[in-house]
Amino acid sequence: MIVVSDTSAITSLLQIGREELLSRIYSDVFIPEAVRNELLMEHSAIPEFIRCRSASDRAEVQRLLAELDLGEAEAIILAKELKADELLIDETAGRRIAAREGVNVIGLLGVLLEAKGRGIISSVRQIAEELETKAGFRLSNAVKEMFFREAGEL
């Protein structure tokens, strides 16, 4: 499976030391150049399994810039160009626009559910708590309840 990621999910996983989840779920993890640049502003290195690829259709990226930041716009276009199975993005506007563009989206919580379903992790609750306390990942009580129920941890 191929995934293209926006910045926030990778940053959150790096902050809690769980970035390897992506390489264990996906055969290929791609980021566009803008995301690489954003990641390198906050992190000294990007994991080796993450590959950077340019979004070729700059006109399409430019079109999306009216609604999104550069990283999100490039990620959506790159996902379309690579025919990625999923785009990993958590921002509401980015998810909405990606869906409008015909791109399948998954959020970080979806990745955790997939990891639990494959037996890669035993508890999504523990990782969600780490994301909140160490990475500043914000989850409403309603989202947590739904997420933990789906994971069989409520």
- Could you tell me if residue 39 is inside a domain? yes
Domain of residue 40, CATH code: 3.40.50.1010
Pairing of strands 50-52, 105-106: unpaired
pLDDT at residue 154 greater than cutoff 90: no
- Could you tell me if residue 147 is inside a domain? no
- The dihedral of CA 86, 87, 88, 89: what is its sign? negative
- Could you tell me if residue 119 is inside a domain? no
Helix boundaries (H) for the chain: 7-16, 20-25, 33-42, 58-64, 70-82, 92-100, 108-117, 124-135, 141-150
Tally of structural domains, the chain: 1
pLDDT tens-digit readout, 61-109: 999 999 999 999 999 999 999 999 999 999 999 999 999 999 999 999 9
Residue-number span of the structural domain to which 101 is assigned: 2-108
Spatial separation of the C-alpha atoms in residues 144 and 100, rounded to whole Å:
26
- Could you tell me if residue 91 is inside a domain? yes
Spatial CA neighbour of 118 closest among 2, 26, 3: 26
Q: Is 93 within 8 Å of 87 (Cβ atoms)?
A: no
pLDDT tens-digit readout, 112-140: 999 999 999 999 999 999 999 999 998 88
